[in-house]
Structure 1
Amino acid sequence: MDEATRQYFNERAESWDEKIRPETRERLAQIIKELGIKPGSRVLDVGCGTGILIPLLLEAVGPEGKVVAFDLAEKMLAIAKAKYGEEGVEYVQGDIACAPFPDGTFDEVICNSCFPHFKDQARAVREIFRILKPGGRAVVCHTMSREAINELHRSLGGVVRDHLLPEEEEMRRLFREAGFVEVELVNRPDRYLVTARKP
Structure 2
Amino acid sequence: MSDDHTHVQEFFGARAADWDTRFPDDGPAYEAAVSDMGLRPGGRVLDAGCGTGRALPPLKAVVGASGVVVGADLTWAMLEAAVRAGRDRDGRLLLTDVAALPLRSGSLDAVFAAGLVAHLPNPAENLRELARVVRPGGTLALFHPIGRAALAARQGRQLTPEDLRAESNLGPLLADSGWDMTSYADEDARFLALAVRRG
For residues 120-131 of structure 1, the aligned pairs below 5 Å read 120-131=122-133
Distance in 1 (CA, whole Å) between partners of 2:164 and 2:152 is 7
Q: Which runs of 5+ in 2 are unaligned?
A: 158-162
Runs of 4+ in 1 over 3 A off after TM superposition: 85-88, 150-155
Question: Paired residue for 1:4?
Answer: 7
Distance in 1 (CA, whole Å) between partners of 2:168 and 2:53 is 30
For residues 71-150 of structure 1, the aligned pairs below 5 Å read 71-84=73-86, 86-87=88-89, 89-150=91-152
CA contact (8 A) 1:146 1:165 kept: no
Question: Paired residue for 1:160?
Answer: none
Q: Which runs of 5+ in 1 are unaligned?
A: 156-163
Stretch of structure 1 that moved more, 56-65 or 82-91: 82-91
CA RMSD of aligned residues (A): 1.8
Task: Report the CA distance shift for 1:87/1:21 in structure 2 as closer, same or farther (over 3 A).
Answer: closer
Distance in 1 (CA, whole Å) between partners of 2:196 and 2:87 is 30
CA contact (8 A) 1:138 1:197 kept: yes
**Percent of matched pairs sharing the same residue:** 28
CA contact (8 A) 1:176 1:183 kept: no
Q: With the length of structure 1 as denominator, give the TM-score of the two structures.
A: 0.87
Distance in 1 (CA, whole Å) between partners of 2:38 and 2:116 is 21
C-alpha deviations, 1:3-42, integer Å up to 9, x for none? 11111111111111111132x2122212222323111111
Shift of 1:85: 5.6
Task: Report the CA distance shift for 1:31/1:109 in structure 2 as closer, same or farther (over 3 A).
Answer: same
The answer as to 2:22 corresponding to 1:19 is yes
Distance in 2 (CA, whole Å) between partners of 1:88 and 1:142 is 21
